[in-house]
Chains A and B, each alone.
Chain A
Amino acid sequence: MNKPFFSFSTVAFIAMIIGAVVMTYPYAYMVGSSFKTRREFAEDKENLIPPRFQPAQQWAHAQGEPSALDWPGADWSLWRNYVDAIRFGQIDRYLANSFIYAVLITAVQLFFNVLAAYAFARMEFAGRNFLFTLLLATMMVPPAVLLIPNFLVVRELGLVDTLWGVLLPSFAGAFGIFLLRQFFLNIPSELEQAARIDGCGSWGILWNVVFPLSKPVLITLGLFTFMGAWNMFEWPLVVLSNQDYYPLTVGLSFFRSENGADWPRIFAASVMGAVPLILLFLVAQRYLVGGISLSGMKA
């Protein structure tokens, strides 16, 4: 039996590298373009590298030949587009808004979910299974169906164009309750019984025994909730009209329509919008990957 020249794992490795290039190309395009001037971007949309970093351009410029480095703006600060995106597009404010929304949604939703999941996992009460099924049934409803009526409810509550209008519908999450209940059910009840003998009530047991044991699943769920809240677009687009309250996603879309021609600036704003979650992901990766396997287990 003759051994093939390329082993399967070598082919796999090369294919994965090609795939990685495909996955990262749009990011390279975005970052590269964000450092170009408008003219540089208009003249060459395919080269990812800004002219000031291209050796051929630098060489031509040094020889005194005409090059892209003669165009106006070539000597501007590298970060000009970023500074302009903040100065003229208040991207910093949108980022702060997104951060506030995502933190509040995550904190409140986790708190409510822990309470409900604990009751469903550990307490006996009339209608428990019925109420739990009812809660799970809401996962079947596509958000697109709820968009209009949720807007009407929020309008009825007088919360259109307010912080609470954006946040309130996101404070509940049936999936989180489902996930946490499954986790709580697997915690050995002997621990709780020991605490009960020591005189702990259900509130004390929840926060002193169950909560500390659930930290990994809470971190995973919290990260997913945070990412979902950071990326939400359609709901704030519908609820908000005051531009000062826009989260990053809506702000970017608005910034784009205001700066239609200035794409390098739009890309600079996009980079600022993408970076925070990527940093969060790099720090918390192991919890996320574990969490995906967790959600896949529902299958």
Chain B
Amino acid sequence: MNLRRRLVPYLYIAPAFALTLVFSFVSMGISLYASFHHFDAFAGSSAFVGFDNYRRALWAPDSYFWVTMRNTGLYVIMTVVGVIATALPLALLCQRAPRGQALFRTLYFLPSITPGVVIALVFYHIFGVWGQLLDKAHTALPALALLGIWAGAGYNMVIFLAGLSDIPQHFYDAAKVDGANRWQQFRHITIPMLRNTLVFVAVMTIIGSFQVFTSVYIMTLGGPERSTEVIAYTIFINAFAVAGQMGYASALAWLLFAAVFVFVLVQMRVFRSRKVYDE
């Protein structure tokens, strides 16, 4: 009886844990193994090559790794800046709109519940009508970022609305008594009080846009002139469209992981969650 009772909790967590174990930890082990091998899953061949895959990605003269990292970085910066610069003002406006808040929230939320493939297909045409944005190397990536901003603005507006509603009204009342204008209230109450929400939105948007894939796959296939070839797309192509590159693609995936990991660490150091004003 006693042994049975002690086993019960493990039975409860077993299904979820076994799956996580296989599809995260075993998976990562395999990926790490593959990244140090010349690996061809389809031919069943595998030869140890040490750091060759990493070296090839980072230093080989014909490597596109830094190009894809630059594209990914630019996409991430444009998207996160754009999302915050639209979602926060939208939340402030939505809060003040005298009526229709629920309707606005519904309409702005539509992109979050539309399959990315559908969104990409429609924007493929809209960008075409707007002057072939996807056919030019200097406009294609900004166009993809525009799609990312359009798709992310409403969702993050709802998060900002939740953050705004947590700011006690008496802060504003006190500021008004002191003669603070709207800008001063925004600058000295809203922004500091929203700090944690801002960090949350920024981090989630950055991690998400680091992995942008669907819009590239549907709209540009990395072109023109590799101007939209982002890291997730390169990984996909090398692993599943080019024979015998799975080890190399795995090394790319680990480099992506390292980039995200370093970013998260830096962010945790810089924006350590803290209380801004005491109640």
| A116 in contact with B13 (CB, 8 Å) | yes
Q: Please judge, given known A-B contacts A141-B28, A149-B250, A249-B115, whether A119 and B13 are in contact too, CB under 8 Å.
A: yes
- Size class of the contact patch on chain A: 35 or more
Beta-carbon contact of A138 and B257 below 8 Å: no
Tell me if B's interface is mostly helix, strand, loop or mixed. helix
Please give me the 4 A-B residue pairs with the lowest Cβ-Cβ distance, nearest first. A299-B200, A172-B19, A119-B12, A149-B27
Residue in contact with B110 in the complex, picked from A12, A16, A23, A238, CB distance below 8 Å: A23
Which residues of B lie under 8 Å from residue A168 when comparing CB positions? Answer: 19, 23
Q: Which of A65-107 contact B (CB under 8 A)?
A: none
Q: Is B10 an interface residue (CB 8 A)?
A: yes
Contacting residue for A144 out of B20, B34, B116, B211, CB 8 A? B211
Q: State whether B96 touches A8 (Cβ < 8 A).
A: yes
Q: How many residues of B contact A (CB 8 A)?
A: 92
Beta-carbon contacts of A126-139 to B below 8 Å, as 1s and 0s? 00100100010010
Verify A278–B110 contact, CB threshold 8 A: yes
Residue B74 is within 8 A (CB to CB) of chain A in the complex: no
B261 at the A interface (CB under 8 A): yes
Contact with B along A272-292 (1 / 0, CB 8 A): 011001101110010011001
**Nearest A-chain residue to B250, judged by Cβ:** A148
Residues of B contacting A128 in the complex (Cβ-Cβ under 8 angstroms)? 9
**Does B159 reach chain A (CB closer than 8 Å)?**
yes
Residue interface bits B222-256, CB-to-A below 8 A is 1, else 0: 00000000011001100110000010011001101
Chain A, 104-125, CB within 8 A of any chain B CB: 112-113, 115-116, 118-120, 123-125
A24 in contact with B16 (CB, 8 Å): no
| Nearest Cβ on chain A to B261's Cβ, whole angstroms | 7
Contact A152 B125 (CB under 8 A): no
Interface 9-residue window, one of B55-63, B75-83, B101-109, B133-141: B101-109
Whether A131 and B17, one on each chain, are in contact in the complex, defined by CB atoms closer than 8 angstroms, is yes
Give complex CA distance A123, B49 in Å.
47
In the bound complex, how far is the Cα of B109 from the Cα of A146, in angstroms?
Answer: 29
Is there contact, CB below 8 Å, between A169 and B93? Answer: no
- A150 interface residue, CB < 8 Å from B? yes
A43 neighbours in B (Cβ, 8 Å):
none
For the complex, give the distance between the alpha carbons of A89 and B116 in Å: 19
Tell yes or no: B190 within 8 A of A by CB: no
Please give, as numbers and ranges, the residues of chain A lying within 8 Å of B177 by CB-CB distance: none
Chain B residues with CB under 8 A of A141? 24, 28, 257
B160 to chain A, nearest CB (A): 9
Q: How far is the CA of A131 from the CA of B14 in the complex (A)?
A: 11
Type the 1/0 row for A260-277, where 1 means its CB is closer than 8 Å to any CB of B: 000100110010011001
Closest to B33 in A: A149
A174 to B253, CA, bound (A): 21
A-B pairs with beta carbons under 8 Å apart, 12 shown = A9-B97, A15-B93, A152-B34, A168-B19, A252-B117, A263-B125, A273-B118, A281-B113, A282-B106, A292-B159, A296-B162, A296-B200
Q: Judging by beta carbons under 8 Å apart, are B121 and A266 in contact?
A: yes
Note all chain B residues with C-beta closer than 8 A to A256. 121, 218
Question: Quick check: A234 and B115 within 8 Å, CB to CB?
Answer: no
Inter-chain contact A148/B239, CB cutoff 8 Å: yes
Quick check: is A183 within 8 A (CB to CB) of the other chain? no
> With an 8 A cutoff between CB atoms, is A158 at the interface?
no
Is the CB of A221 closer than 8 A to any CB of chain B? no
Contacts known (A26-B122, A144-B232); A113 close to B16, Cβ less than 8 A: yes
In the complex, whether B26 has a CB less than 8 A from a CB of chain A is yes
Q: Which residues of A are found within 8 Å of B90, using beta-carbon distances?
A: 16, 19
* B-binding segment of A56-64, A189-197, A210-218, A225-233: A225-233
B19 cross-chain contacts in A, Cβ below 8 A? 112, 168-169, 171-172
Indicate whether B274 reaches chain A with its CB closer than 8 angstroms: no
Residue with the highest number of chain B CB atoms closer than 10 Å, among A119, A120, A278: A119
A207 is an interface residue with CB less than 8 A from chain B: no
In the complex, the answer to whether B12 meets A115 with C-beta atoms within 8 Å is: yes
CA distance A177 to B249 in the complex (A): 31
CB neighbors of B among A1-42 (8 A): 8-10, 12-13, 15-16, 19-20, 22-27, 29-30, 33
Which of A150, A282, A295 is in CB contact (< 8 Å) with B23?
Answer: A150
Contacts of B6 in A (CB 8 A): 125
B148 within 8 Å of A by Cβ? no
Beyond A115-B13, A281-B109, whether A273 also contacts B264 by CB under 8 A is no
Known interface pairs A112-B19, A142-B207. Does A270 touch B118 (Cβ–Cβ under 8 Å)? Answer: yes
B163 CB-CB contact with A under 8 Å: yes
Contacts of A171 in B (CB 8 A): 15, 19
Q: With an 8 A cutoff between CB atoms, is A162 at the interface?
A: no
A248 an interface residue at 8 Å Cβ cutoff?
yes
Whether B154 contacts A23 by the Cβ 8 Å rule is yes
Contact A277 B158 (CB under 8 A): no
Q: Which listed residue, A150, A274, A293, touches B114 by the CB 8 Å rule?
A: A274
Give Cα distance in the complex from A119 to B8, angstroms: 9
